[in-house]
Amino acid sequence: MTKIFSIPVRVYYEDTDAEGIVYYANYLNFAARARSEFLRNKNLKVENLKDGERCGFVVRHVSIDYKKSAFVDDLLEVTCEIKELKNSSVVMTQNILKDGEILASLDITLVYINLGRHRPTRISDEMRQVFV
């Protein structure tokens, strides 16, 4: 649907375990950072796009395939690619790479919800244009 968006991410000591290897849960943090930058790059403020109501994306499902480790001081590339846009959700693939080699691959489903009611809500036409 969209071209692949990416950001650079440096691995800091705080991202690693005692061995200097990136702690497995931090790959989720790197992916979340890339998704936030993807939306920022599109000049999209998720909240307040639906008739003055606060809405936002929440993670419904994520699966991660860890292929290789990243280490302290590595410079990574984290990508976002929209695979499917539904009425109230977005399916995305994200990869975390070092020197073009995939270290981890994520498939993630985000649901667009009304933050006050905590219920899924339709993605507005304005926002849909950002994803195509």
Phi, psi (degrees; rounded to nearest 5) at 11: -85, 125
The alpha helices in 42-98, defined as continuous H runs, are: none
Give yes or no for residue 98 having a pLDDT over 50.
yes
User: Which helix (H) or strand (E) segment is 29 a member of?
Assistant: helix 26-41
The CATH number of the domain holding residue 29 is: 3.10.129.10
Percent pLDDT > 90 in the chain is: 73
17 in catalytic set: yes
Range of the domain at 95: 5-131
Active-site pick, 15, 17, 51, 125: 17
Domains: count for the chain: 1
What average pLDDT does the segment 96-121 reach?
95
Residue-wise pLDDT tens digits, 40-65: 888 776 554 555 668 888 999 999 99
CA 126 to CA 66: how far, in whole Å? Answer: 35
- Inform me whether the pLDDT recorded for 119 exceeds 80: yes
Each residue of 92-122: b (16+ CB within 10 Å) or e?
Answer: bebbbbbeeeebbbbebbbbbbeeeeeebbe
